[in-house]
Amino acid sequence: MPYRIVFFGTPDIGVPTLEALAADPRFHVTLCVTQPDRPQGRKHELLPTPVKAAALKLGIPVLQPEKLATEEVYARLRQEEADFFVVIAYGKIMRQEVLDMPKIAPINIHGSLLPRHRGASPIQSTLLAGDTEAGITIMRMTAGMDEGPMIALFPQAITSRTTSGQLFRDISTLAAKVFPDTLVAYAEGKLTEVPQENSLATTCTKLTKEMGHLHFAEQSAAEIHRLWQALTPWPGIFCFLQGKRVKLLRVEALEHSSLAPGAMSIQSSDMLIVGTKTTDLAVYELQPEGKKSMSGSAFYQGVRVHQFDL
């Protein structure tokens, strides 16, 4: 008999794992639980979550409760008689009553190498912290936020050019590849749970648009580069030139210092150099407010003032 699964997830990162489980004869995904449809885009169209759209294509029933902690929802979840609840970026707190429902275990796929970066933004926080390695942790869920015992960890390589957008895609692909076999091995008792070392734990901060506001006199080039990695594509990093917003779309920290904070110069055909608190910052692509993206040198040649607001 295949293992019965209720899948909890909302954004794109969960779709490959859902598809992998649905295609594997060892599993039967009986229900998909996801966030309610929300207005999106400039037109505020009511659109399904990526996980809902995928589930409907796969013919899997979908449940979208505003609140998980209701007797009606609890009754529906019990009705599934699931062996596992599988959770990846669902976005709602699950009470102990829910965690106790599956016959074998509630399992979470978390987007960092725990115990680092517990919380809602582990992928961005991995880049923001300047970690040398990213990855996923497969864990049994407990009432504490991402505090449950670990079943398996899978590293994911990152480089200085890795952005959160790319890392989300890499992590989602990795999870879909390794999770089915890991879940079966766990169900068969072939994997041992390992408690997390709480003294090594870090927690994520909630991402805000304001985090992307650069202050060249207060931040180093390395800090700005990490912000660019973590906040690309959302919310992005930006500064101001005479009160008008300028988005920096591709940057790199340099090892030398030649400019005062916020001052600009050109070093090559496409590169703009900007001074920071420490070394200089190379800006290869940017987007002035109300205009299309352009190279750093094109931007420099098109403005009269070569000093960003501090």
Architecture of domain 209-301: Roll (3.10)
Would you state the pLDDT for residue 267? 79
> Please, is 112 exposed, middle or buried when counting C-beta atoms within 10 Å of its C-beta (0-12, 13-18, 19+)?
buried
HEC profile of 153-190: EEEEECCCCCCHHHHHHHHHHHHHHHHHHHHHHHHCCC
Chain-centroid distance of CA 71 in Å reads 31
The answer to whether residue 44 scores a pLDDT higher than 90 is no
Is 201 within 8 Å of 115 (Cβ atoms)? yes
Higher per-residue confidence, 268 vs 50: 50
pLDDT digit string, tens, across residues 184-234:
999 999 999 999 999 999 999 889 999 999 999 999 999 999 999 999 999
Domains 3-200 and 209-301 share a fold: no
Computed over its alpha carbons, how large is the radius of gyration of the chain? 22
Task: Confirm or reject CATH 3.40.50.170 for domain 3-200, answering yes or no.
Answer: yes
pLDDT digit string, tens, across residues 77-125:
999 999 999 999 998 889 999 999 999 999 999 999 999 999 999 999 9
Domain boundaries, the chain: 3-200, 209-301
**C-beta neighbour count of 284 within 10 angstroms:** 16
